[in-house]
């Protein structure tokens, strides 16, 4: 990828922060020990590094270190949460409540659970992409064992009313899982204050390495039980067997240590940029429709529909800016985004939606240039259509 392409797709993935890479490197070479083989110093060294990362990750969400299970990413964490609860609590019930705008990691796993005889309620969202907590309450049945609601949407950035849903789950003695892949490290999350029992995290969304994630699983009040999805050597309290990826874990820990320290400052900068892009596009292009909630949204995400502009065509035209039409995670299919469709504005709104997500290594000049380039590409497409 040429260096002069401005990267504005941080909801898809982020570059590894050089400070993160620096702490990871020794764990590939001289500090290569197996964290489970602690009969010698090599193993001890690795275990200490893993323990430290566990503390760093727990600290960001107000969890205990022994409540953090390392996984290969949020997809795996989501799968352990859903299948793990469905199997372990099968005697208590078989009903799960989730939402239509979830990531495919949740939706496809839920579909699979349905083929296994479980029942799933997919709640709708309003025009801003928000689930109504009262609808969650109404969907609860005596058979409900789990509510799974994403913390922040990966396409439109809308934040869920986590504390309210957590309160409802606690009142009904139902477990509450949240896919927080886009939220942890970007906005404050407190699993105790929000009554979250299970939570999925991904490292590559917060300047950590790809293929690395974690599952928070509460160990008291209530003690959450999960059936493993992977069996083997009993690593991670039996919940996720397999030799630990020490360099990845160390990088993950450092990325969240940095996020905790820099979150407020970064968020303010990101909010300024996304607001600036939105306002300037409105001035330059006239009709620009915001997808997602105007205030309850991720600071680094902006999703807008440009009426009459086919977003796939725009992306092809935009040679100097990397951004996404709809969700990058499902872009192999040229289907309108299920998230934008769920907002209830019709297919055109989904076909003309672009997602712009800014990040730590962008600068003011890049943002200004990206706005110019988007404006020019849109005008270009509009001219082509008139002719």
Ligand X SMILES: Cc1ncc(COP(=O)(O)O)c(C=O)c1O
Nearest-CB residue for ligand X: 73
- What is the number of other CB atoms lying within 10 angstroms of the CB of residue 285? 17
Q: Are strands 301-305 and 353-357 parallel, antiparallel or unpaired?
A: antiparallel
Beta bridge partners of 144: 95
Nearest-approach distance from CB 147 to ligand X, in angstroms: 16
Q: Which of 123, 150, 198, 288 binds ligand X (CB under 6 A)?
A: 150
Alpha-carbon distance 241 to 228, whole Å?
A: 9
Sequence-distant (≥ 6) Cβ neighbours of residue 91 within 8 angstroms: none
Say whether residue 181 binds ligand X (CB under 6 A).
yes
Nearest-approach distance from CB 117 to ligand X, in angstroms: 25
- Spatial CA neighbour of 68 closest among 240, 222, 206, 261: 240
Stretch that binds ligand X, among 59-67, 117-125, 137-145, 177-185 (CB under 6 A): 177-185
Token digits of residue 362: 């962008």
Say whether residue 329 binds ligand X (CB under 6 A).
yes
Block residue for tokens 């490290």: 185
Say whether residue 213 binds ligand X (CB under 6 A).
yes
Whichever of 209 and 228 has its CB closer to ligand X, that residue is: 209
Alpha-carbon distance 329 to 338, whole Å?
A: 12
Whichever of 153 and 341 has its CB closer to ligand X, that residue is: 153
Q: Which of 179, 236, 254, 266 binds ligand X (CB under 6 A)?
A: 179
Nearest-approach distance from CB 205 to ligand X, in angstroms: 6
Whichever of 3 and 333 has its CB closer to ligand X, that residue is: 333
Q: Which of 144, 202, 255, 291 binds ligand X (CB under 6 A)?
A: 202
Say whether residue 75 binds ligand X (CB under 6 A).
yes
Stretch that binds ligand X, among 46-54, 73-81, 109-117, 359-367 (CB under 6 A): 73-81
Residues 366/3, Cβ–Cβ less than 8 Å = no
Residues 214/69, Cβ–Cβ less than 8 Å = yes
Find the catalytic residue in 21, 329, 376, 381: 329
Whichever of 9 and 94 has its CB closer to ligand X, that residue is: 9
**Binding footprint of ligand X, residue count (CB under 6 A):** 13
Beta bridge partners of 184: 187
Residues 183/297, Cβ–Cβ less than 8 Å = no
Q: Which of 47, 53, 70, 73 binds ligand X (CB under 6 A)?
A: 73
Q: Is 235 exposed, middle or buried (0-12, 13-18, 19+ CB in 10 A)?
A: middle
Nearest-approach distance from CB 121 to ligand X, in angstroms: 19
Say whether residue 74 binds ligand X (CB under 6 A).
yes
Say whether residue 182 binds ligand X (CB under 6 A).
yes
Does residue 329 carry a catalytic annotation? yes
Q: Is 221 exposed, middle or buried (0-12, 13-18, 19+ CB in 10 A)?
A: exposed
Residues 181/200, Cβ–Cβ less than 8 Å = yes
**Catalytic residue IDs:** 329
Return residues touching ligand X (CB under 6 A).
73-75, 103, 105, 150, 154, 179, 181-182, 202, 213, 329
């Amino acid at each position: 990828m040429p260096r002069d392409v401005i990267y504005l797709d941080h909801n898809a993935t982020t570059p590894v922060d050089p400070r993160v890479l620096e702490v990871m490197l020794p764990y590939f070479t001289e500090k290569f020990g197996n964290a489970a083989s602690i009969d010698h110093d090599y193993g001890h060294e690795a275990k200490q590094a893993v323990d430290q990362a566990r503390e760093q990750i727990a600290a960001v969400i107000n969890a205990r270190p022994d409540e953090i299970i390392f996984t290969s990413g949020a997809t795996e964490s989501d799968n352990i949460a859903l299948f793990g609860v469905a199997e372990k609590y099968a005697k208590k019930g078989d009903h799960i409540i989730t939402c239509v705008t979830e990531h495919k990691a949740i939706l496809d796993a839920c579909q699979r659970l349905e083929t296994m005889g479980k029942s799933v309620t997919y709640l709708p969202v309003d025009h801003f992409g928000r689930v109504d907590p009262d609808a969650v309450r109404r969907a609860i049945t005596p058979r409900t064992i789990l509510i799974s609601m994403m913390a922040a949407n990966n396409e439109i950035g809308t934040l869920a009313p986590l504390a309210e849903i957590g309160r409802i789950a606690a009142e009904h003695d139902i477990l509450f899982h949240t896919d927080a892949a886009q939220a942890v490290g970007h906005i404050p999350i407190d699993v105790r204050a929000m009554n979250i029992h299970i939570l999925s995290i991904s490292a590559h969304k917060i300047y950590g390495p790809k293929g690395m994630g974690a599952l928070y699983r509460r160990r008291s009040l209530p003690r959450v039980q999960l059936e493993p999805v992977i069996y083997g050597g009993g690593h991670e309290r039996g919940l996720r067997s397999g030799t630990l990826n020490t360099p990845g874990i160390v990088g993950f820990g450092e990325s969240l240590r940095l996020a905790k320290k820099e979150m407020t400052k970064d968020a303010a900068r990101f909010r300024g940029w996304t607001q600036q892009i939105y306002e300037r596009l409105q001035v330059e292009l006239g009709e620009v429709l915001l997808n997602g909630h105007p205030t309850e949204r991720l600071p680094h995400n902006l999703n807008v529909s440009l009426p009459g502009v086919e977003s796939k065509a725009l992306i092809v035209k935009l040679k100097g800016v990397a951004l996404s039409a709809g969700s990058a995670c499902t872009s192999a299919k040229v289907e309108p985004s299920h998230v934008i469709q769920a907002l209830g504005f019709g297919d055109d709104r989904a076909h003309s939606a672009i997602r712009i997500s800014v990040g730590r290594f962008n600068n003011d000049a890049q943002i200004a240039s990206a706005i110019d380039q988007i404006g020019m590409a849109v005008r270009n497409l509009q001219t082509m259509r008139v002719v």
